[in-house]
């Protein structure tokens, strides 16, 4: 990422679709075409792991660090494959186009997937390819399929509450499940095959158009996950396999009491003795899916905020060191030119900065944070950027630029912004001003949330940290992405030297 380029941040769920949630189908390809038409180089998405209604549908809280979110499987592509008929998808609920209604989408798509699986069982078209996928991904796929089926068998209860044989992965209990629930297990594997087939197809399409996919890896995994159930020794658990301590961050911009995420923290000493095998496998898996990976909460590799599991806020935590130097030496040995973006937002100490600089990973700069009292010294102001960074107007955890300006920015913040750009700024044009600031900066890479390209307000915010409900639902409407946006973004990209090389003179 050491050449000037730019891209768009848009999660797959936010794409238009007639099936209640954005997916890997036709509109994903249309959006890739939009990126190509505007000379973009990157499409950044959020984690694609399974989500759960019980966790607010957050892509950062999943039953697996390896599995894909089967809700993103496109029914239209299943019709093209012959796994569904046109009649199967002709009648559907009246979904809301502007938001994802997960409670309605989940049962509807479940019924479609049942029909696709029935067709798969009785026809041989996909069986060989599915068998090859299962063999190549056996190490994680077997455990995820088992975990999902056993969890469903226990009415969704947390794995620690399962009967002892299943909780402790007793061989006899596992063999019983494999026999009694063979078809359900095969269905889970089949759906994973479909998800990754569609994802790889989209990635190939994007790459052929010169677009690189940026994926997202949360540093932690959920306690109620196949990963912790399978690898209890890698996490700080007590003798009853409950978390001893959990992850979070101390008080910050988003919360006066910090953020208590609830994820179990790693036993880095045990990971180190294995040569970080689980992490190397996780990175290899993601690097096969994406061209670049962003690691969320990168500072946790240097030191992490550890909170006793009995606490109700993150206030009473402590910093614990992690073996960042040794870990990334192992990573670099496995992947010499590993393309990683370090999410380095929040409280970043000098030791974290030193590690990131030594590794040569680009960090992040967010313009929405830049116009406080410490102007002109703030590191997120464009005149303080270094080339090896990723400039954002905002992220999925921020308000939109317009929403920030109208609802969060203090009068002094607005005054400083106007002074910085040398003109009076209004809420109808503030998104354009911040995008231009990012684009003209020395940052090698600029990533803009689509909401800011469209100039949308607070209603389009993707996630509100520390608020449990109502997140991860925003979707854009087809008519919102106009030729005016296309031409404006293309011109801006070319003007500031960020167009793909083959399009540098295409103005």
User: Is 296 in the active site?
Assistant: yes
DSSP code at position 474: B
User: Residue 172, Cα to own-chain centre: how many angstroms?
Assistant: 37
Give the active site residue among 23, 143, 397, 433: 397
3-class SS of residue 75: helix
Q: Which residues pair with 249 in a beta bridge?
A: 259
Structure tokens at 45: 């998405």
Strands 212-218 and 245-249: unpaired
Q: How far apart are CA 351 and CA 318, in angstroms?
A: 16
Which residue, 345, 447, 434, 440, is CA-closest to 391? 447
Give the active site residue among 76, 188, 224, 343: 343
Strands 340-342 and 292-296: parallel
User: Is 397 in the active site?
Assistant: yes
Structure tokens at 148: 């999902």
User: Is 163 in the active site?
Assistant: no
- With residue 363 as reference, give the H or E element that holds it: strand 363-366
- Residue 155: Cβ within 10 Å count: 6
Structure tokens at 59: 């892509």
CB 316 within 8 A of CB 240: no
Strands 42-44 and 212-218: parallel
Burial class from Cβ neighbours inside 10 Å (0-12, 13-18, 19+) for residue 132 reads: exposed
Strands 259-264 and 245-249: antiparallel
Give the active site residue among 216, 296, 433, 452: 296
* Angle, helices 277-287/138-153, rounded to nearest 10 degrees: 100
Structure tokens at 304: 């992490």
Strands 303-308 and 245-249: antiparallel
3-class SS of residue 170: coil
Catalytic residues: 296, 343, 397
């Amino acid at each position: 990422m050491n050449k000037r380029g730019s891209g768009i941040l848009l999660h797959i769920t936010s794409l238009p679709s007639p099936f209640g949630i954005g997916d890997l189908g036709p509109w994903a390809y249309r959006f890739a075409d939009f990126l190509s038409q505007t000379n973009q180089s990157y499409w950044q998405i959020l984690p694609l792991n399974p989500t759960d209604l019980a966790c607010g549908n957050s892509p950062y809280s999943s039953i697996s660090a390896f599995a894909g979110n089967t809700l993103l499987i496109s029914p239209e592509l299943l019709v093209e494959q012959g796994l569904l008929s046109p009649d199967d998808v002709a009648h559907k609920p009246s979904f809301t186009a502007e938001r994802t209604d997960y409670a309605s989408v989940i049962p509807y798509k479940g019924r479609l997937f049942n029909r696709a699986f029935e067709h798969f069982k009785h026809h041989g078209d996909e069986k060989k390819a599915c068998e090859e996928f299962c063999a190549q991904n056996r190490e994680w796929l077997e455990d995820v399929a088992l975990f999902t089926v056993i969890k469903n068998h226990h009415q969704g209860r947390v794995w620690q509450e399962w009967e002892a044989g299943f909780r402790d992965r007793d061989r006899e209990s596992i063999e019983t499940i494999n026999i009694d629930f063979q078809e359900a297990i095969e269905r889970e594997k089949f759906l994973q095959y479909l998800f990754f087939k569609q994802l790889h197809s989209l990635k190939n399409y994007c790459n052929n158009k010169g677009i690189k996919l940026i994926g997202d890896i949360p540093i932690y995994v959920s306690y109620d996950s196949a990963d912790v159930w399978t690898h209890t020794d890698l996490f700080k658990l007590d003798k009853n396999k409950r978390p001893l301590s959990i992850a979070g961050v101390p008080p910050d911009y988003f919360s006066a009491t910090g953020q208590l995420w609830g994820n179990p923290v790693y036993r880095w000493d045990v990971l180190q003795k294995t040569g970080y095998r689980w992490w190397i496998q996780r990175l290899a898996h993601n690097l096969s899916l994406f061209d670049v990976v962003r690691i969320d909460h990168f500072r946790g590799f240097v030191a992490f905020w550890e909170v006793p599991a009995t606490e109700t806020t993150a206030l009473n935590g402590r910093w614990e060191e992690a073996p960042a130097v040794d870990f990334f030496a192992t990573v670099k040995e496995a992947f010499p030119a590993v393309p990683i973006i370090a999410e380095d937002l929040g409280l970043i100490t000098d030791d974290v900065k030193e590690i990131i600089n030594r590794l040569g990973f680009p960090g992040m700069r967010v313009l929405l944070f830049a116009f406080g009292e410490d102007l002109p010294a703030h590191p997120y102001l464009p005149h303080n950027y270094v080339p090896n960074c990723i400039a954002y107007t905002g992220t999925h955890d921020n308000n939109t630029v317009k929403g920030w300006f109208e609802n969060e920015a203090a009068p002094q913040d607005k005054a400083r912004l106007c002074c910085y750009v040398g003109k009076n700024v209004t809420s109808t044009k503030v998104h354009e001003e911040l995008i231009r600031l990012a684009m003209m900066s020395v940052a090698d890479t600029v990533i803009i949330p689509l909401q800011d390209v469209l100039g949308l307000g607070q209603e389009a915010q993707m996630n509100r940290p520390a608020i449990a409900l109502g997140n991860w639902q925003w979707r854009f409407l087809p008519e919102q992405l106009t030729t005016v946006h296309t031409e404006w973004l293309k011109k801006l990209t070319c003007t500031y030297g960020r167009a793909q090389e083959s399009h540098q003179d295409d103005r």
